[in-house]
Amino acid sequence: MKVKRNWEALLLFKKVVIAGVGLIGGSLGLALTERRLAAEVVGVDPNRDNLNLAVTMGAVHRAASLVEALPAADLFILATPVGVTLGVLEMAVPFLTPGTIITDVGSVKGRLVERAEKMLPAGVHFIGGHPMAGLEVSGVAGARGDLFQGASYILTPTKNFDPVALQKLKRLVKEMGAHPVELAAEQHDRLVAMISHLPHLLAATLVNTVAAEPSSDMLLQLAAGGFRDTTRIAAANANMWRDILLTNRDMVLKAVRQFRRQLAEMELAINNFDQTALVAVLERAREVRMSLAENRTYLNER
C-alpha cells in the first residue's frame, strides 16, 4: 500500500532561527516555510524594512531579537555577510541551549569553522554550510524558495563533527532540492577561490576595462550576449564581495596567479601569430565548457 506523505512527516525542525534574512537567508526561509520543513521560522535582522518584508513574503513567520529567538531553537542559520558572522555567533553564545544545530551560508569557511566549535556550549553543534547558488541581487526582495534547487550545497564537518547534526542538515539540503557535498573547510576555500571568487574578480575587472575606455558608453550599448554572460555577477553587492575576497585573501591571490599564467599563454600565442597554440588553448576551453553544460554530476554522488 502506498503511504501518503502528510506535511507532519516532513517536519524536520520545530523552531528555526535565521540571522540575516537577506537574499540567501530569505530563500532558505521560503524553502523551509513553502515545503513545511519547520513548524516555526524566526527572523533576526537589524534592517527593519528587510525583516518586515520577509514576514510579508512568508520567508519567516515572525521577527525577533537573538535573545528572544534562540532559546530552544533546534536550528540556527547564520545568513549574514561574511565579515559579521563570527561576531553574530559570539553574541549568540549566551542564549544558546543544548540541542541547537548551527550552520552558516558564508562563501568563505576557514576561520569561522575553526573558531565556532571552540566557543559553543556542550550539546550545541556547528557544521559550516555554503549553497553554491545565488544571484547578483541583495536583500529578501529577490529571495526564492527554489533558489537551491539542483545546486550543490557544501557542508564542512570538522573531525569532531556530530553525526546526528550532519544527517539532519543533509536531509534539509535534499528536501530543498539541493545536493549535499562534504568538504573540509580549507579545501572548500581553495576550491571556491577558483570557481567563484576568481570569476567574480574577473567579471568586475572586465567591466572596469571597458568602462575605462573613453568611448565606454558606446561600447556598453553595443555589448552583445557574450559581454553580458561573462559579467552578470559584476552587478553584485560590493561590500559582500569585499568581505569574501579579503577573508579568502591567500587562496584568491593564488587563483589570480594561476589565471595570469593562462592569460600569458593566450597572449603569447596571439603575439606570435601561433595558430596551433591558439587553437589548442581555445579547443581545451571549449571541450571543458561543453562538458560543464552536459550531464551534470555531483561530487559525493559518483
Ligand X SMILES: O=C(O)C(=O)Cc1ccc(O)cc1
Residues forming the site for ligand NAI (CB under 6 A)? 19-25, 44-47, 50, 79-82, 84, 88, 105-107, 131, 134-135, 138-139, 237, 240, 244
Cα–Cα–Cα angle for 156, 293, 199, nearest 5°? 55
In contact, 80 and 88? CB cutoff 8 Å = yes
Alpha carbon of 203 to those of 208, 228, 231, 237, 242: distances in Å? 9, 10, 5, 13, 14
The residue (of 19 and 233) whose beta carbon lies closer to ligand X is 233
Task: Give the nearest distance from C-beta 141 to ligand X in angstroms.
Answer: 16
The interface mask with ligand X, positions 230-249, x = CB under 6 A, is ---x----------------
Choosing from 107, 152, 247, 248, the residue that interacts with ligand X (CB under 6 A) is 107
Task: Tell me whether residue 12 or residue 154 sits nearer to ligand X (CB atom).
Answer: 154
Q: Grid coordinates in use for 127?
A: 557544521
The backbone region for 290, taken as left when phi is positive above 0, alpha when psi lies in -120 to 50, beta otherwise, is alpha
User: Residue 58 or 139: which CB sits closer to ligand X?
Assistant: 139
Q: Is 135 in the site for ligand X (CB under 6 A)?
A: yes
The listed partner (ligand X, ligand NAI, none) that binds 88, CB under 5 to 8 Å by sort, is ligand NAI
Give kind and range of the element (H or E) at residue 285: helix 275-293
Q: Please give the single-letter amino acid code of residue 67.
A: V
Considering the rule CB under 6 A, would residue 132 count as an interface residue with ligand X? Answer: yes
CB nearest ligand X: which residue? Answer: 134
| Closer to ligand NAI by Cβ: residue 139 or 177 | 139
Sign of CA dihedral 248, 174, 45, 119: negative
Calpha distance 174→155 (Å, rounded):
12
Q: Within a 10 A sphere around the Cβ of 56, how many other Cβ atoms?
A: 9
Residue 19's binding partner, choosing from ligand X, ligand NAI, none, with beta-carbon cut-off 5 to 8 A by kind? Answer: ligand NAI
Pairwise CA distance, residues 50 & 28, whole Å: 15
Nearest distance from residue 154's CB to ligand X, in Å? Answer: 9
Return the amino acid letter for 251: M
Q: Is 77 left (phi over 0), alpha (psi -120 to 50) or beta?
A: beta
Name which of 66 and 210 has its Cβ closer to ligand NAI.
66
Among ligand X, ligand NAI, none, partner that 233 touches (CB below 5 to 8 angstroms by kind): ligand X
Q: Decide whether 73 or 244 has the Cβ nearer to ligand X.
A: 244
Q: Should residue 196 be labelled a site residue for ligand X when binding is judged by CB under 6 A?
A: yes
Looking at 54-62, 75-83, 131-139, 172-180, which segment touches ligand X (CB under 6 A)? 131-139
Q: From the list ligand X, ligand NAI, none, which binds 196 (C-beta under 5 to 8 Å, kind-based)? A: ligand X
Choose among ligand X, ligand NAI, none what residue 73 binds, the Cβ cut-off being 5 to 8 Å by kind: none
Burial classification of residue 74, based on how many CB atoms lie within 10 Å of its CB (0-12 exposed, 13-18 middle, 19 or more buried): middle
Residues near ligand X, by CB under 6 A: 107, 132, 134-136, 196, 233
